[in-house]
Amino acid sequence: MLRHLINLVLSILPPSRFFGLRYLLWRIAGVNLARGVKFCGRGWIYGRGSLSIAERTWLSPGVVFHTNIEAEIRLGSDCDIGPGVEFVLGSHAIGGEARRAGQGVARPILVGNGCWIGAKSLILGGVTIGDGAIIAAGSVVVRDVPKNTLVAGVPSIVKRQLQ
């Protein structure tokens, strides 16, 4: 309930101001934010699960985290997360004919240091993104991304290695 109230309070602030207040309120709500994290507005944190964001990471307006108490979301240091990016831990096993969305499952999302995730990308549970990787705008990441790699597409595929 506390995270929901904080989401509501922060939604009325200008999206790229009051970083100190945002930092303080998210810390009170149990989000593990390191020093120098800039969390812009118009985003949302759903659920009561573990969310950790390391030093100097930038979260653009509209970033959404769907947390779950069964799995964590962890972002490394010096990352840049574009507008409208969503992190979704949960899914379902395939159920029977009467209800195809079977038992709920949640798997962690781990993002390495120095990553750049482009606007409107979707990062699904069970994914690890290696250090220095780039996720092109609009990508849907459904499998691990090696370090220093550029991926793009739906679903995302490796486009090239980075130096």
Which residues are known catalytic residues? 92
Helix, strand, coil percent values for the chain (each to nearest 5): 10, 40, 50
| β-sheet bridge partners, residue 160 | 150
Residues 6 or more apart whose CB falls under 8 angstroms from that of 45 comprise 3, 6, 7, 26, 29, 31, 51, 64, 65, 67
* CA proximity to 115, closest of 72, 159, 67, 150: 150
